[in-house]
A = this chain, B = another copy of it.
Amino acid sequence: MKEITAVIRPDKMEVVKEALQEIQCNGVTVTEVKGRGRQLGITESYRGRDYKVDLLPKTRLEIIVNDEDVDSVVDTIVKTAQTGDIGDGKIFVSPVEEVIRIRTGERGEKAV
């Protein structure tokens, strides 16, 4: 099993979510985060002074999938979250050793 972590533009959340649903990938945990990558920050100004805000709002998705689903999920996210402009975000895939469904106590692949 793998954990796919995707950091995307907040306004892409809706379409990504729908696209994932279409490929039967329902489970997801979402966090509002701030981030910095290649994208330059924005400026906010208060009473004539500029402040650089270099951490921009992003949405972080955490999706646990079985190994065979990694590629389709990653592709779906890339396809739907891409605008081609800097700031589109990133996806990381990491190993997961065990998954437990709290409601039933089931473990492993069937718990995903």
A15 CB-CB contact with B under 8 Å: no
A35 CB-CB contact with B under 8 Å: yes
This chain's copy number in the assembly: 3
A47 CB-CB contact with B under 8 Å: no
> Which residue of B has the minimal Cβ distance to A2?
B97
A48 CB-CB contact with B under 8 Å: no
> Contact at A3–B102, with CB atoms within 8 Å?
no
20 A-B residue pairs with Cβ-Cβ distance under 8 Å, sorted by A, are A1-B92, A3-B92, A26-B36, A28-B35, A28-B55, A29-B35, A30-B36, A31-B33, A74-B98, A74-B100, A78-B100, A82-B103, A83-B103, A88-B101, A88-B103, A90-B99, A90-B100, A90-B102, A91-B98, A92-B98
Q: A interface vs B, CB < 8 Å?
A: 1-3, 5-8, 17, 26-31, 33-38, 54-55, 58, 60, 62, 64, 74, 77-78, 81-103, 105, 111
